[in-house]
Structure 1
Amino acid sequence: MTETMLAGRLDVRAKTFAVEEVPVPEPGPGQVRIRVKAAGVCLSDVHLIDGSIRPLFLPADKVTLGHEVSGVVDALGPDVPPAWTAGQRVLLQAGERCGRCANCVSFAEPCLQVRTRGVDYDGGWAEYALATHHTLVAVPDDLPFEQAAVIPDAVSTPWAAIVSTGKAAPARPAGVWGVGGLGTHAVQLLRLVGAVPIIAIDPIEAARERASALGADAVLDSAAPDLRERIRELTAGRGLDLALDMAGAPAVREQAVSCLAPGGRLVLVGLTPDPLTITQSIPLSYFAQQILGHYGSTPEHVVELVELVRHGRLDLGGSISGTLPLTEAAAAVERLARKEGDPVRLILTP
């Protein structure tokens, strides 16, 4: 009789989600099976379930959700390097190279069609998950699994947006729109690179208070009629060198563009299927401003963050807003969708 496990499965076509019993996967060549210890619940998961985000490369109608995953190496398939052994504590990169695009064929960077775990192939809302060995990252013994799980995406996505796409610089002003799962970490990470002032913008008072406690130099309500003027005052009349849209909301993007300095950059991190419109586009051209798309991070960003945590430069202790058993995955999704308790990250524990 085939051994089975529980997994949180999304039927993409029917837009239905359920925790189901499925076979425990067997690792193939180059693969490792992980006993999952913690898996994050992301707003992207909410949007996958409601159908506003759809997988681009999923070969079937169903997928196990979960792209933020940590656990213990349980079994190894053939051709896995000896560096990996059963019992090791690891987190999983949130995706991997496609192996088919022109850059993958020529061993160039970056992959042009990255596959996302828990979107384009089965993820970690399960008791066990498969991972290609090169997507494993060892984590220190003193890093809790719950915190390790959220490094891919919840922390690495804003980190990559800040240091790579957004090119944040020391002593230059930066604004963060939306201080939830991504924006909370963006405030912490902007402090690491020395951005100043850091201005956090959110309509929820609790989110603003959290941003202030984490080191934002100023917190503003996005509904304030004088928001643009306040940001100009805080930046000595110049505006923002870097604006980060962590909310994925059209109104945020219009607002953020109006607050940019000459040469300033708006980085779109939060995902939305809604159109991108800029009502006043002439100033965008005149002041040589930029709007930049951003998705995820590279493996190097995750490794950097593990090192920052290991050496005490980054504290993720406040990132976990609650844990629920895997059997209550649907309830976790509902809590996040309603923003119940203003969570940073909810964690599923099989």
Structure 2
Amino acid sequence: MLAALGLEHGHHLSVEKVDPRPPGPHDVDVRIGASGVCHTDVAVLGGQLPLPLPLVLGHEGAGVVTEIGSEVTSVAVGDRVIGTVGAVCGTCWYCVRDMTHLCDNSQAMTSAPRVTRADGTEVPAFLGLGTFAEAMTVHEASVVRVTTDLPDEQLALIGCAITTGLGAVFNTAKVKPGSSVAVIGSGGVGQAVIQGARIAGAARIIAIDPLENKRSAALGSGATDTIDPAATDLADEVRRLTGGRGADYTFEVVGHPTTITQAWEATRRGGTIALVGMPSVDATITMSAFQLASDDKRLCGSLYGGTQARRDIPLIIELAETGRLDLASMVTRRVALHEVNDAIRALDAGEQIRTVVV
């Protein structure tokens, strides 16, 4: 089969023929129907998240089960499934306390080699998935069975961008109806945050992005206002739109120290800042300890939107099937696997909301 491998940091993916390893007792083979192209894959390839290479990249995908291991119980051949960011054991300290996105055993379940290159090198898959391929072999704890007629290109986005964005709204920040929301970064995950805020009943949703195409898309997703941070002071403009106070909830979806600081400044006293974007491992921020205490703001990490995949993914699908969540508008480009490097280039350039490999 064909797969796109990251071989060296700072270099293009290598699309090449590999041999998949046979599934183990708890493994599932999935024929990939679609895979989203996400900034996290770009960060791994660029070295901002310096994971050891080689890796089969891609972590946002959906497809059909073609083979299962001898002890698999959660899915069957022919089932449609969505890959999830992080396998979930269901029994560790975090899992039994409804924090499955922090599962202690996830890495152990997702680190096995999954393909063999022509030179005999055995290669694992990013986050145990590796969706930039014609097929993937994963632990059964890394997929969720779904029953829906939604197309694979939309289901793929639920694997990461949609669950991360909606989860940040509903699980992390717990946005209240009638509130004000600011979203810094209006790419794929940012658009999902905006839609989540709309569904949650936020009265004012402010989309902040330097690119006009993303601000325009944000208005279609439910934003009531947009800000070009290159043309004005971001925090001042948010305060102007919110009675001089600042937003009740601010979502930072860039993962950069500068925008994290801006998110803090744009949020009212007693408000909530959710850090959704993934910073590089060496990024740091400096804050006033006095302000941290006296402003009574809540600064929250939001890994995978605090998603409990088996609970949340069916709910997200129901929102899409009933027209409350618009997945179709998120897919702005479709490419073949051999075009994945151009899709990554376009993502870096901000040309698309979400490109899907089909």
Compute the RMSD of aligned alpha carbons.
Answer: 2.4
**Counterpart in 2 of 1:310?**
321
Pick aligned residue for 1:322 from 310, 316, 333? 333
Which is worse superposed, 33-42 or 302-311?
302-311
Shift of 1:74: 0.8
Q: How does 1:34-113 map to 2 (within 5 A)?
A: 34-55=30-51, 61-81=53-73, 84-97=75-88, 103=94, 107-110=96-99, 111-112=103-104
Q: How does 1:124-163 map to 2 (within 5 A)?
A: 124-163=131-170
Identity rate of aligned residues, in percent?
Answer: 33
User: How far apart are the structure 1 equivalents of 2:129 and 2:221?
Assistant: 34
Shift of 1:281: 4.7
Pick aligned residue for 1:189 from 178, 193, 196? 196
Name the CA shift for 1:231/1:36 in 2 (closer, same or farther; >3 Å). same
> Is the Cα–Cα contact under 8 Å of residues 85 and 127 in structure 2 kept in the other structure?
no
Name the CA shift for 1:112/1:24 in 2 (closer, same or farther; >3 Å). closer
Name the CA shift for 1:41/1:13 in 2 (closer, same or farther; >3 Å). closer
TM-score (norm 1): 0.88
Name the CA shift for 1:135/1:113 in 2 (closer, same or farther; >3 Å). closer
Q: Secondary structure at the match of 1:171?
A: coil
**Counterpart in 2 of 1:336?**
347
Name the CA shift for 1:226/1:94 in 2 (closer, same or farther; >3 Å). closer
Q: Secondary structure at the match of 1:126?
A: coil
User: How far apart are the structure 2 equivalents of 1:99 and 1:271?
Assistant: 25
**Counterpart in 2 of 1:166?**
173
Shift of 1:121: 2.8
Which is worse superposed, 115-124 or 24-33?
115-124
> Is the Cα–Cα contact under 8 Å of residues 98 and 114 in structure 1 kept in the other structure?
yes
Aligned partner letter, 1:298: Q
Shift of 1:66: 1.1
Aligned partner letter, 1:23: D
User: How far apart are the structure 2 equivalents of 1:162 and 1:8?
Assistant: 33
User: How far apart are the structure 2 equivalents of 1:131 and 1:328?
Assistant: 24
Q: Secondary structure at the match of 1:74?
A: strand
Q: Secondary structure at the match of 1:7?
A: strand
Aligned partner letter, 1:73: V
Unaligned stretches of 5+ residues in structure 1: none
Shift of 1:6: 0.7
> Is the Cα–Cα contact under 8 Å of residues 235 and 266 in structure 2 kept in the other structure?
yes
Shift of 1:280: 4.6
Shift of 1:306: 1.6
Pick aligned residue for 2:255 from 235, 241, 248? 248
Aligned partner letter, 1:41: V
Over residues 2-28 of structure 1, what are the superposed CA-to-partner deviations in whole Å (9 max), with x where a residue is unaligned? xxx111112367866311211133222
User: How far apart are the structure 2 equivalents of 1:78 and 1:108?
Assistant: 29
**Counterpart in 2 of 1:23?**
19
Over residues 92-126 of structure 1, what are the superposed CA-to-partner deviations in whole Å (9 max), with x where a residue is unaligned? 2222136896546xx55432464479424341111
User: How far apart are the structure 2 equivalents of 1:32 and 1:68?
Assistant: 16
Normalized per residue, the structure richer in helix is 2
Over residues 168-199 of structure 1, what are the superposed CA-to-partner deviations in whole Å (9 max), with x where a residue is unaligned? 11111110001011111111110001112111
Shift of 1:73: 1.3
> Is the Cα–Cα contact under 8 Å of residues 58 and 132 in structure 2 kept in the other structure?
yes
> Is the Cα–Cα contact under 8 Å of residues 12 and 54 in structure 1 kept in the other structure?
no
Shift of 1:31: 1.9
Query: How many aligned residue pairs are there?
Result: 336
Unaligned stretches of 5+ residues in structure 2: 112-124
